[in-house]
A and B are shown apart, each in its own frame.
Chain A
Amino acid sequence: MSTTSVGGHEHAGTYEIRLRGHLEPRWNAWFVDMTLTTDDDGTTVVAGPVADQAALQGLLRKIHDMGIELMSLTRLDPEQAAPQHSEAHHPPKG
């Protein structure tokens, strides 16, 4: 792998993932450390901290494996995207 860093690869962030359909609150336990909110437009927002890009990919894969349609993905804390300022976060247990 190249030594030039692709910004933010190793850094934690908070993400908001919007999914089509209403997910039952029971999935809260499944998406560790994330909160689930249903909106009136028939979508569900899964939001919370993600340890790094690999964890984010794993999360998206989980959603994909459930056959749920992904509507949008937003990073909520852009100011942390600058690599040199971010702190180490512990990955969510699971």
Chain B
Amino acid sequence: MTGVHVRAKGSEVDADAKPHRWFPMTAQVLETKLRRPQQRQRAVVRSRLTARLDAGAHLPLTVVSAPAGFGKSTLLTEWLADREAQGKASAWLSLDERDNNAVSFWRYFASAMASTGQGIGAEALSLLDAGAGQIDAAIVSLINDLDVLADDVILVLDDYHLIDNADVHAGIEFFISNAPAQVHLVLATRSDPALPLAQLRGRGQLTEVRAAELRFTDDEASQYLNQSMNLALKAPDVTALEQRTEGWIAALQLAALSMQGREDSSAFIAGFAGDDRYIVDYLAEEVLQRQTTQVRAFLLETSILDRLSGPLCDALTGQGDGRSMLIDLERRNLFLVPLDDRRQWYRYHHLFADVLRAHLMDETPEIIANLHRAASTWLDDAGDPIAAIRHALAAGDFTHAAELLERAAPAMQRDRQEALMRDWIASLPADIVRVRPVLSNVYAGALLSTGQFDQAEAPLADAEGFLEAAHSAGAPASGDAAMVVSDALELERLPAYVAVHRAGLSLVNADVTGAVAHARRALALSADSDHLVRAASAALIGLASWSTGDLVEAQRAYALCLVDMRKAESFADFLGCSIGLADIQITLGSLGEAARTYTTALQLAREQQASPVRGTADMLVGLSEVHAEAGELEPARDSLTQALALGDANGLPQFPYRRRVALARIRESEGDLEGALLLLQQALPVHTTDFSPDVRPIPAMIARLNLRLGRLPEAESWVREQGITVDDDLTYLQEYAHITLARCLLATHGTDRSDDQSAPALAFLDRLLAAAEAGGRLASVIEILVLQSVALDARGARTEARSSLQRAMVLAEPGSYVRTFTTEGALLAPLLASVKASDPGAAFARRVASAVSAPTVGTAAHQGLIDPLSERELEVLRLLSTDLAGPAIARQLFISLNTLRTHTRSIFIKLDVNSRRAAVTRARELSLIA
């Protein structure tokens, strides 16, 4: 259901979504999550466990599974520090609840992997920007990147139990079974992950460290209590403690804290060992009893915080000693974990926090809401609206939460936190949201951008209701609850924003006419300075028109959209829309205009300070496409090489697939059909159109190549899968598939000259031609005429065939659509030869004829070499002249490093050189490369 997908994506051209695509996604990665925790001092040496981890480090997966407080993170931290000291690479990722979203999870995963080697994860991160649809492609890309690593690397995912998203588990499972041998994953988790552990265990691919092994042994307990904690306990006491706690490290820590400075350790241990109480209750009670009233109150009151700082604690306690208190607690090992090096932020060890909160809920439940309220106010003032909202919700302060949400919405949208925003607004009482039209509209936008289209209607209608009431009465209608708005400016912008969302929703519901009407209304309602709303409205009109085949209107709308995007300085979106505009121009027959669209965009991108602007590489791919269409292979190759040199990190989400399709186009023009087919197959998994209609689906391109390769059954099975027939209604979105169907039918009956067989195909071509002409789609008209000409010629109708061909050439000449003819190759040769010099289009015919027969650049005689370089070697040579490293070149050519070395060796021999630099110099002398 491509159409639905396209429309669904279309709604993401969401007005209030600030320009996000040019915003480097890495900026949103919290670096602290990628940092390995600091090593604790005075830790117990656990060589029996690190040896076990070392032994398992050659396997794909290690699982460290045990409840909280068993020292999992500490063990892994120490192990990795040891390995690092030996020069071995590792990466760390501390997961949290927010990573339960697959896109977020893989973004962090790729970022963590990126720290292990140059260029790793760039393409994956770029793909993930396109959303959940590209996760599989991103994982594959990551695996390919890791393949070139020379050394082993270990990635630890800490707190993996926080993940309960089945998609993430499936992705991890895929990663484990496909990752190269030098990559090892370590999961630290409180409960066993939802992975096929038994299967992995059976295949000997899994190392496990479980609670039984993690427990402190008698010796370790003794080392911890007597050396780390300086308790001087007797051996029987240590044994009793070890047995009562069952080696649970968190409990031993609590016990140690309870005994510090105590004279009667033995008596304490005896009392403890003979007690049935939940161990943490018993020990935490001991620890709390030993604190002053002031410290105890501080611990309880601040236990509601996820993160603590001195001033924040002061806001809750009403005291001024927060900072010194935290420093003191940390010094005394009271389960406070520092979150930064500057000792500003801390958190409680969660087990201790649970106990503290239980005490708080039991002793003073009435103050809890006020504590949350104080935290919310402080965090809001400190500029952390997200944490402020969380505490406002916990306080049950829904009105305040709504207020905070409304204010935080623009920033949250910019950071693509729509899903969180949606869930929070959904948790508010409906009547609080309903009286806030700005928030209702934000809610509608969040629902639209997270694909929950059905639910977007109600809040959108609520916002519209207020606007209509205000419009008809000059004020909200009486009887309605009073309207609440946080920012009057937002209310002014609201009518246009609401109309954009309405347009998006209409498009989702396949109401194209409605979508265009609402988008036009949005344009009319928006202030001239509200460039983003204007750009989004124009983009929606463009998108709707494009999808229905009204390309003239689409072209106009996209051109308008570009003007506003430029003014909004939304450069990556400008570049993204340029792709759409150029594509439309190519179809409309203005190849030259398309080239100008790309060069203008390229120029704009290069003028920017933050050069290269993301998307620059995509413009170069576009230029390559335009050149290839015009039969200019050399410039097509050059543009693509430049694009590849910029790399995937510079590309928009559609770059990974477009660059492969562009290279396939060049390969096909060079006659390397198998190479082109391979590239298209590689483009398939990374395919995303971002928010454009998929007007040339890759499977249809593959079917065409299969036809050219004489593989009829493959092409026919594609037709069956598509379920398309010559009796279908003709739409623009299906045009490419339908022309492919016509090609398939003609190929089937290519040798059969009887009228009966090819008549339906010819009739179908007539219908396609009429539709393309009616839509003004010149490029399609040319292609259909060429096809018609070939088909007529096959039936022996040479005169009619020539007439179709001449029509095609007359239309193609101004825009130089050479490739449409050359791809037909030998089939057209006799017809071309029959075109007389005096015929219309004769000059173009000569151009096409020479392009068909012309040797590709630099082959044989032209090279001035005894043993000429192959096409592939020339390509390697071109990439050798860039700054790309070997692995990067191999990846761009989709070959292994070994194959690349073979090519390089051969080039060196043929050029009689022995270094990369000498090869490039020699190639320049021979004009083999620019």
- In Å, the complex CA distance between A23 and B361 comes to 15
- Say how far A42's CB is from chain B's closest CB, in angstroms: 4
A24 interface residue (CB < 8 Å to B):
yes
A 39-82 to B, binary, CB cutoff 8 A, 1 in contact else 0: 00010100000000000000001001111100000000000000
- In Å, the complex CA distance between A44 and B362 comes to 18
Q: Are A64 and B191 in contact (CB under 8 A)?
A: yes
Q: Are B357 and A24 in contact (CB under 8 A)?
A: no
- In Å, the complex CA distance between A17 and B278 comes to 15
Of A6-14, A25-33, A84-92, the one contacting chain B is A25-33
- In Å, the complex CA distance between A27 and B360 comes to 10
Interface centre among A21, A23, A42 (most CB of B within 10 A): A21
Q: Are B351 and A28 in contact (CB under 8 A)?
A: no
- In Å, the complex CA distance between A4 and B251 comes to 45
- In Å, the complex CA distance between A21 and B276 comes to 5
Q: Are B67 and A30 in contact (CB under 8 A)?
A: no
Known: A29-B362, A30-B358. Is A67-B277 also a contact (CB below 8 A)? no
**A41, closest chain B residue (CB):** B276
**B248, closest chain A residue (CB):** A67
Query: Which residues in B have their C-beta under 8 angstroms from that of A27?
Result: 358, 362
Indicate which residue in B190, B278, B362 contacts A65 across the interface (CB closer than 8 Å): B190
Q: Are A23 and B276 in contact (CB under 8 A)?
A: no
**A32, closest chain B residue (CB):** B361
B407 interface residue (CB < 8 Å to A):
no
- Say how far B734's CB is from chain A's closest CB, in angstroms: 32
Q: Are A64 and B190 in contact (CB under 8 A)?
A: yes
Query: Which residues in B have their C-beta under 8 angstroms from that of A64?
Result: 67, 190-191
Known: A30-B358, A65-B68, A67-B67. Is A24-B281 also a contact (CB below 8 A)? yes
- In Å, the complex CA distance between A30 and B278 comes to 15
- Say how far B354's CB is from chain A's closest CB, in angstroms: 6
Indicate which residue in A22, A28, A42, A67 contacts B362 across the interface (CB closer than 8 Å): A28
- Say how far A51's CB is from chain B's closest CB, in angstroms: 16
Query: Which residues in B have their C-beta under 8 angstroms from that of A67?
Result: 67-69, 248, 250-251, 279-280, 351
- Say how far A56's CB is from chain B's closest CB, in angstroms: 14
Q: Are A29 and B358 in contact (CB under 8 A)?
A: yes
- Say how far B77's CB is from chain A's closest CB, in angstroms: 20
CB-contacts of B82-128 with A (<8 A): none
Known: A65-B350, A67-B69. Is A21-B278 also a contact (CB below 8 A)? yes
B359 interface residue (CB < 8 Å to A):
yes
Query: Which residues in A have their C-beta under 8 angstroms from that of B276?
Result: 21-22, 42
B365 interface residue (CB < 8 Å to A):
yes
Indicate which residue in A28, A29, A68 contacts B278 across the interface (CB closer than 8 Å): A68
Q: Are A24 and B68 in contact (CB under 8 A)?
A: no
**A44, closest chain B residue (CB):** B278
Query: Which residues in A have their C-beta under 8 angstroms from that of B279?
Result: 21, 67
**A66, closest chain B residue (CB):** B354
Sorting the interface of chain B by its residue count into under 10, 10 to 19, 20 to 34 or 35 or more gives: 20 to 34
CB-contacts of B606-646 with A (<8 A): none
- In Å, the complex CA distance between A68 and B250 comes to 12
Query: Which residues in A have their C-beta under 8 angstroms from that of B354?
Result: 30, 65-66
Indicate which residue in B67, B190, B277 contacts A24 across the interface (CB closer than 8 Å): B277
- In Å, the complex CA distance between A19 and B362 comes to 20
**A43, closest chain B residue (CB):** B276
- In Å, the complex CA distance between A37 and B359 comes to 18
- Say how far A43's CB is from chain B's closest CB, in angstroms: 9
- In Å, the complex CA distance between A64 and B192 comes to 12
- Say how far B43's CB is from chain A's closest CB, in angstroms: 20
- In Å, the complex CA distance between A11 and B358 comes to 28
- Say how far A25's CB is from chain B's closest CB, in angstroms: 8
CB-contacts of B228-283 with A (<8 A): 248, 250-251, 276-281
- Say how far A58's CB is from chain B's closest CB, in angstroms: 10
Indicate which residue in B277, B351, B359, B362 contacts A66 across the interface (CB closer than 8 Å): B351
Query: Which residues in A have their C-beta under 8 angstroms from that of B350?
Result: 65
- In Å, the complex CA distance between A64 and B281 comes to 15
**B355, closest chain A residue (CB):** A66
Query: Which residues in B have their C-beta under 8 angstroms from that of A42?
Result: 276
Known: A29-B362, A30-B358, A64-B67. Is A22-B277 also a contact (CB below 8 A)? yes
- In Å, the complex CA distance between A19 and B279 comes to 12
**B276, closest chain A residue (CB):** A42
Query: Which residues in A have their C-beta under 8 angstroms from that of B277?
Result: 21-24
Query: Which residues in B have their C-beta under 8 angstroms from that of A21?
Result: 276-279, 281
CB-contacts of B349-374 with A (<8 A): 350-351, 354, 357-359, 361-363, 365
Known: A21-B276, A66-B351. Is A26-B191 also a contact (CB below 8 A)? no
Q: Are B68 and A29 in contact (CB under 8 A)?
A: no
- Say how far B193's CB is from chain A's closest CB, in angstroms: 14
- Say how far B634's CB is from chain A's closest CB, in angstroms: 54
Query: Which residues in B have their C-beta under 8 angstroms from that of A24?
Result: 277-278, 281, 285, 358
**B278, closest chain A residue (CB):** A21
- In Å, the complex CA distance between A27 and B280 comes to 12
Known: A42-B276, A67-B280. Is A26-B68 also a contact (CB below 8 A)? no
Query: Which residues in B have their C-beta under 8 angstroms from that of A19?
Result: 278
Q: Are A30 and B357 in contact (CB under 8 A)?
A: yes
Q: Are A26 and B362 in contact (CB under 8 A)?
A: yes
**A61, closest chain B residue (CB):** B191
Query: Which residues in B have their C-beta under 8 angstroms from that of A44?
Result: 278
Query: Which residues in B have their C-beta under 8 angstroms from that of A25?
Result: 362
**B164, closest chain A residue (CB):** A57
**A38, closest chain B residue (CB):** B276
**A24, closest chain B residue (CB):** B281
Known: A44-B278, A67-B250. Is A26-B190 also a contact (CB below 8 A)? no
- Say how far B280's CB is from chain A's closest CB, in angstroms: 7
Query: Which residues in B have their C-beta under 8 angstroms from that of A65?
Result: 67-68, 190, 350-351, 354
Query: Which residues in A have their C-beta under 8 angstroms from that of B285?
Result: 24
- In Å, the complex CA distance between A22 and B274 comes to 12
Q: Are A23 and B67 in contact (CB under 8 A)?
A: no
**B284, closest chain A residue (CB):** A24
- In Å, the complex CA distance between A64 and B66 comes to 10
Interface centre among B68, B276, B357, B361 (most CB of A within 10 A): B276
Interface centre among A19, A28, A66, A68 (most CB of B within 10 A): A66
- In Å, the complex CA distance between A66 and B250 comes to 10
- In Å, the complex CA distance between A21 and B251 comes to 14
**A1, closest chain B residue (CB):** B166
Interface centre among A42, A66, A67 (most CB of B within 10 A): A67
Q: Are A22 and B278 in contact (CB under 8 A)?
A: yes
Query: Which residues in A have their C-beta under 8 angstroms from that of B351?
Result: 65-67
Query: Which residues in B have their C-beta under 8 angstroms from that of A26?
Result: 358-359, 361-363
**B66, closest chain A residue (CB):** A67
Interface centre among B191, B277, B279 (most CB of A within 10 A): B277
- Say how far A9's CB is from chain B's closest CB, in angstroms: 15
- Say how far A17's CB is from chain B's closest CB, in angstroms: 14
Q: Are B362 and A23 in contact (CB under 8 A)?
A: no
Indicate which residue in B191, B248, B278, B363 contacts A23 across the interface (CB closer than 8 Å): B278
- In Å, the complex CA distance between A30 and B358 comes to 6
Query: Which residues in A have their C-beta under 8 angstroms from that of B250?
Result: 67
- In Å, the complex CA distance between A65 and B349 comes to 12
Query: Which residues in B have their C-beta under 8 angstroms from that of A22?
Result: 276-278, 281
**B279, closest chain A residue (CB):** A21
**A28, closest chain B residue (CB):** B362
**A57, closest chain B residue (CB):** B164
**A65, closest chain B residue (CB):** B68
- In Å, the complex CA distance between A66 and B191 comes to 13
Indicate which residue in A23, A28, A29, A61 contacts B281 across the interface (CB closer than 8 Å): A23
Query: Which residues in B have their C-beta under 8 angstroms from that of A29?
Result: 358, 361-362, 365
* Chain A to chain B: the 3 pairs with minimum beta-carbon distance, closest first: A26-B362, A29-B361, A21-B278
Known A22-B281, A26-B358; 4 more pairs at CB < 8 Å: A23-B277, A23-B281, A24-B277, A29-B365
* 17 A-B residue pairs with CB within 8 Å: A21-B278, A24-B277, A24-B278, A24-B281, A26-B358, A27-B362, A29-B361, A30-B354, A30-B357, A30-B358, A64-B191, A66-B68, A66-B278, A66-B354, A67-B67, A67-B250, A67-B279
Q: Which residues of A come within 8 Å of B, CB atoms?
A: 19, 21-30, 42, 44, 61, 64-68
